[in-house]
Amino acid sequence: MAESGRVPVLLRLCRGCRQFVRLNEEDCPFCGGDLDMLQADYDKRVADMRHAAAELREALARARLKGRDA
Amino acid sequence: MTEQRTEALPVRYAGLDDIVNRVPVSVVWEITLACDLACQHCGSRAGRRRRDELSTSEALDLVEQIAELGARDVGLIGGEAYLRKDWLEIVAAIRAAGMRCDLQTGGRNLSEERVARAAAAGLCGVGISIDGIGATHDGIRGVPGSFELALAALRRVQAHGLSSAVNTTINARSLPQLRELMDVIIDAGATNWQLAIMTAMGNAADHPELLLQPWQMLEVMPLLAELAVEGRKRGLFLQPASNVGYYGPYESIIRNVVNDEIYYHGCNAGDTVMGIEADGTIKSCPGLPSPYAGGNIRQTRLRDIWENADPLAFVRRRTIDDLWGFCRTCYYAETCMAGCTWTAHALMGRAGNNPMCYHRAREMDQKGLRERLVKVKDAGGKSFDYGEFEIVVETAAPGVLDRVSVHG
């Protein structure tokens, strides 16, 4: 294959206004937000949610076990 | 896009390796132009079979050539594919060659017997075209009762355990009915819904009253995002075609396959998508007009056409210098490259400037303007032909025809 296909130019998602922006942007050209900071906040929220969901699953499993023992 | 393909993704989803190696992941094959509907928007103006459609042995040989290129998914279209007598032989050959095979159909005569025989031949899934509710669909499809027949076909497909999808063209008549239509197709058991903007090609070029206006993308994108979220909760996966977009805050919602970081990254024609006409003509996308034909398998091996034909190479060779109009200086130009080539070419007579774009409509709207398409020349009346449209820029207030400038 002589020619490869057109490799897409990458964009990143602004976690403030949910618009895609060029990789070289530091601040979102649409909402003005700090892209790295917004991403870090978003990642933390996702991690917190996953942690809370895991704790809830464990609590439910413990409750089920208790119910079975009683 | 994602760099690694996972089992969760549909087989026709192209990853970075596929793009780099130019694997025709998804092949769309018009196996006959014969049709039992009379659709007002049919790009190929289907009805009668082509005089020189491939013979059975030519078609079966072509299946092998498609498989040699690494294709994973072959979608059979028409016309109406099931009107070709040997269509199940073709289905069986595609499956035997290790590829997925789907049928895209209007469903008018997709009888119980036809579905049963197709399932036995190995057909994987069926996409039924439904373009509105009841009389709206019947009018667009040109056959009274075709809406009910399409729904019946959808249920029949599910009863035989085949995956079922609905294909809908978004046009001036179907747009107000999309929400209701989603309820109907969920009730009928559909799990996938592909939506495409009606493109001004073939019969559709003769019906400008059906075409969406560019400013209506401001309505289309938020509506699709809403339907995508609701549909997902109700078990319906919404799939926007590559002429639906682009960007803005709804992009990540409507294109969310496995995560919300997926976005439109330009036309795939000739890189991971191939189109085949019933006479063996090879194109980079099934909808494109004849100047995009790369050759015919009666004269040249498929691999040779795919790898070397210049008319198939426009996507990988396109640069920003090939863009014009609004798209030339757009923020997303480098990524989007003016969106769907088929849509842009059908409207503007050449690729590189696509008025059917959410980001563009939004930018215009923020300036108090909107674009309106006006047909200035009819299409000639052949398959995949197109008319000529001009873009009129006018003030955004409805009903005000304050012409600011005209370009085409």
Q: What is the mean pLDDT of residues A45-49?
A: 95
Residue B354 pLDDT > 60: yes
pLDDT per residue over B37-50, tens digit each?
999 999 999 999 99
Cβ contact, residue pair B316, A9, below 8 Å: no
Distance CA B282, CA B290 (A): 10
Which letter does DSSP use for residue B338 in this model? T
pLDDT per residue over A13-40, tens digit each?
999 999 999 999 999 999 999 999 999 9
Average pLDDT over chain B reads 92
Q: Give the Cα-Cα-Cα angle B84, B87, B89 (nearest 5 degrees).
A: 140
Which letter does DSSP use for residue B269 in this model? B
Distance CA B94, CA B251 (A): 34
| Binding-site residues on chain B for chain A (CB distance < 8 A) | 1, 16, 18-22, 247-249, 251-253, 260-261, 263, 265-266, 271-272, 307-308, 313, 315-316, 318, 331-332, 334-335, 337
Q: What percent of chain A shows pLDDT beyond 90?
A: 84
Pairing of strands A20-22, B26-30: unpaired
* Whole-number pLDDT of residue A1: 54
The model's pTM is 0.91
ipTM: 0.87
* Chain B residues touching A35 at Cβ < 8 A: none
Minimum distance, in Å, between the CA of residue A55 and any CA atom of chain B = 24
Q: Please name which of B81, B137, B145 lies closest in space to residue B108, comparing C-alpha atoms.
A: B145
Q: Lay out the sheet containing B237-240: strands in order across.
A: B237-240, B192-197, B163-170, B125-129, B100-105, B73-77, B26-30, B273-276, B281-283, B295-296
Minimum distance, in Å, between the CA of residue B269 and any CA atom of chain A = 10
* Whole-number pLDDT of residue B404: 39
Q: What is the mean pLDDT of residues B125-148?
A: 96
Q: What is the mean pLDDT of residues B204-225?
A: 96
Cβ contact, residue pair A5, B331, below 8 Å: no
User: Best mutation site among B3, B17, B22, B268 for testing chain A: the one with the most A CBs within 10 Å?
Assistant: B22
Q: What percent of chain B shows pLDDT beyond 70?
A: 95
Q: DSSP 3-state helix, strand, coil percentages of chain B (rounded to 5)?
A: 40, 20, 45
Which chain B residue's Cα is nearest to A25?
B331
Q: How many CA atoms lie within 13 A of B271 on its CB side?
A: 23
